[in-house]
Structure 1
């Protein structure tokens, strides 16, 4: 933010009429989306480029954002682009101080056309979203009345298929592991033991890196790839990625998964967890304000172990709707909602949280090894 803009005013206006005043940050203009908050303390660049945040105005609860700048290596979107609809911060650092920094956060957002707002009382905003629920909003320098009208005309997140906006159009191969960012730096990836087809609903790079490090040869396909196309690639297993929007609206993905279940081992993360739950006969519903952040506690019901996890979701699998053949494996300690399921007879399992972190803790990396082990069983056809 330059000195010339410090006197400028911008507004965040929620659909319920609540107005937050601040200063313009990043690109200038007007943007709309669902206002949400994340409690992660670090990793704002990973947040900005996570395709699961597509269509959302993301509030950072950490007070100072941008102090380490932005670089070309920490993006999570495969195409490197930021995916948020807008960015909301309390204090935007005007200085980027880190040996890896290539530009300031303000310049990065402006370059990519992401409208932001700083100097917002993010504590008050977060409490409001927690109490009243996530809702549509608008950010811009127009009058609050004009922004309120724009916010109220924006489509509701429920019923939205946003996967088609972030999924690739063509299949591609992925060979990059975590390298120096592995838990034990310098550890080479395992030899490619299994061929995995990953369905990209808006995947994060670090998920693909973790699969490579686990010993997977990866072929990544678009969200609309049919079961027949996937099985023709003769995979040893199928991975269902994260992604944005309402899982119940992605009916084509659910239909595809139904045709894959029982034929190949399946592992799903985040949206992939929800889609697997739907394919197995369950239902999903929208949470009041979702789970977003790198400090979310999850209990493994088999071991009693508590994992601190990275999460980013606004929808959830309804545990009561799952058939008896599907068991709950993990739950969120804060509200008891679904964080994992398994259908052992079908060699299918999934988790709602992000074991790959990026950014966040590494408590749950064992799940990638569990997927590898599931592919070592009897070959399915």
Structure 2
């Protein structure tokens, strides 16, 4: 079946439909990872987006339940050059076509994804619509232009838990504010013996105090950080009371709670091979990324907050740390999945902070 991807600037890409059929809109973004498509498909941070994979062959090792990063897929569309029909992997339980159909995600293959990526890199991420079957490309362009912007969609509410639940452990008690957390963040904390109490994003500081945590973790998640004012206010109330660690969206929320600003990037960072420099040690780590917003470095001045990490591709802020209080965050994903495990040490720093051994 024919499929069309129409961008709001009038650019049209045609291909073949796979996965679910119909019509869907979203913000069109690209991911440069060569592997890890299953983790991308199940990462809640991609909620509201149509994801373009730059690597030309996707689906060659299938999909398996063990590598999900959430209970289901939250992306709205998936764009590839070629979708593999015959995966080879003893763990595979689905072909990618079957998986997308099961999850209700529209896929389009046969697209010149490198040309599409160059277009997005030059003009920035933009709204788009995928339509399957006999669809009018001009009408899809008009629909793309009428789509809501990413900001204001309150995507965190779609992906976060609404209930408090506990994953027991023998070590420190960590309250994880779920903004769309990946499973591997929880795994990395539990691997260190922690008891993890997962709470919804609208939790109050008073309720957190009742849970008696040794530390608080702000998870990753989708959308604009300014769309979760309640979480920002709660984080502000936690400052100085508990060690607080943020990842990705959690980094942006911490910055806003401290009085800094964030901004939307032209095309963001999405992939598993971004070089990030730890300014304290001088070491460079290859890291996994998925974010379209960043902390404004200029807005940190006068806040007793230092930039702790920078991206060596564009010098954007990849981490912040308070000079006196037990607060720090990183913009990238130290839990990887997909990606290298270079930055797993970040979780050890959080453990040290909860033990009172680090700032």
TM-score for both structures, normalised by structure 1: 0.91
| Greater CA drift, 223-232 or 195-204 | 223-232
Taking the aligned partners of 1:318 and 1:151, their CA distance within structure 2 comes to 29
Task: Give the corresponding residue for 1:45.
Answer: 38
Task: Give the corresponding residue for 1:295.
Answer: 273
Taking the aligned partners of 1:307 and 1:83, their CA distance within structure 2 comes to 29
2:171 paired with 1:201: no
2:111 paired with 1:120: yes
Taking the aligned partners of 2:139 and 2:88, their CA distance within structure 1 comes to 38
Instruction: Give the 5 Å matches for 1:1-381.
Output: 8-77=1-70, 80-141=71-132, 142-174=135-167, 192-322=170-300, 323-377=302-356
1:162 deviation in Å? Answer: 1.1
1:277 deviation in Å? Answer: 0.3
Taking the aligned partners of 1:259 and 1:163, their CA distance within structure 2 comes to 20
Deviations 1:1-60 (A, max 9, x none): xxxxxxx21100000000001000100000100000000111111000000000000001
TM-score for both structures, normalised by structure 2: 0.97
Taking the aligned partners of 1:158 and 1:198, their CA distance within structure 2 comes to 24
Relative distance call for 1:378 and 1:351 in structure 2 (3 A) is closer
Taking the aligned partners of 2:230 and 2:45, their CA distance within structure 1 comes to 18
Taking the aligned partners of 2:185 and 2:357, their CA distance within structure 1 comes to 25
Secondary structure in 1 matching 2:213: coil
Q: Is the 8 A contact 1:51 1:202 kept in 2?
A: yes
1:231 deviation in Å? Answer: 1.2
Taking the aligned partners of 1:224 and 1:324, their CA distance within structure 2 comes to 26
Deviations 1:298-344 (A, max 9, x none): 01111110010000000000011013400100000011111000114
Please give the root-mean-square deviation of Cα atoms over the aligned residues, in Å: 1.2
Taking the aligned partners of 2:121 and 2:299, their CA distance within structure 1 comes to 26
Q: Is the 8 A contact 2:259 2:303 kept in 1?
A: no
- Residue correspondences, number: 355
| Greater CA drift, 264-273 or 343-352 | 343-352
1:193 deviation in Å? Answer: 2.0
Secondary structure in 2 matching 1:207: helix
Taking the aligned partners of 1:235 and 1:324, their CA distance within structure 2 comes to 26
Segments of 4+ moved more than 3 angstroms: none
Taking the aligned partners of 2:238 and 2:121, their CA distance within structure 1 comes to 38
Deviations 1:70-96 (A, max 9, x none): 11111001xx20111110000001112
Relative distance call for 1:378 and 1:88 in structure 2 (3 A) is closer
Q: Is the 8 A contact 2:5 2:129 kept in 1?
A: yes
Taking the aligned partners of 1:349 and 1:27, their CA distance within structure 2 comes to 41
Taking the aligned partners of 1:93 and 1:310, their CA distance within structure 2 comes to 24
Unaligned runs of 5+ in 2: none
Q: Is the 8 A contact 1:26 1:115 kept in 2?
A: yes
